[in-house]
Amino acid sequence: MEGRLFIYNAERRLPAFISETSGSRSDSVRKVVVFIGGLTDGFLATPYLTHLQSRIATAGWSLVQVLLSSSYAGYGHSSLRQDVEELDSLLHHLVLPFYTF
């Protein structure tokens, strides 16, 4: 899977990965599916992500995989509230560039 790793939360240095469809740049993509893994999961958490990415790419969408503070060994050292705050930060990172005037 090809794409771009980026920091969506500078304070906590949290990364996310956005897949790039062939011939497109991820910073110009407006339609994304955000995949949130289960407890302790991180990037490429499930065996079907590559297939999912290729299927949604045919419809012009990109796949975003997110790491939260609770990902991997962070489970139990975070809270649901913190997960929500971090997901909110990701959404602001993905949406705001397209709505700045």
Task: State the DSSP string of 27-80.
Answer: GG---EEEE---TT--TT-STTHHHHHHHHHTTT-EEEEE--TTSGGGTTSS-H
Please check the confidence at residue 12 and state whether its pLDDT lies above 80: yes
* Phi/psi at 51 (5° precision): -65, -45
Q: How confident is the model at residue 5 (pLDDT cuts 50, 70, 90)?
A: very high
Enumerate domains of the chain plus CATH numbers.
3-99 (3.40.50.1820)
Half-sphere exposure of 101 (CA within 13 A, CB side): 0
Percentage, residues of the chain above pLDDT 90: 54
Mean pLDDT of 47-65: 93
Please give the mean pLDDT across all residues of the chain: 84
The rounded distance, in Å, linking the Cα atoms of 21 and 59 is: 10
Distance of CA 51 to the CA centre of its chain: 16
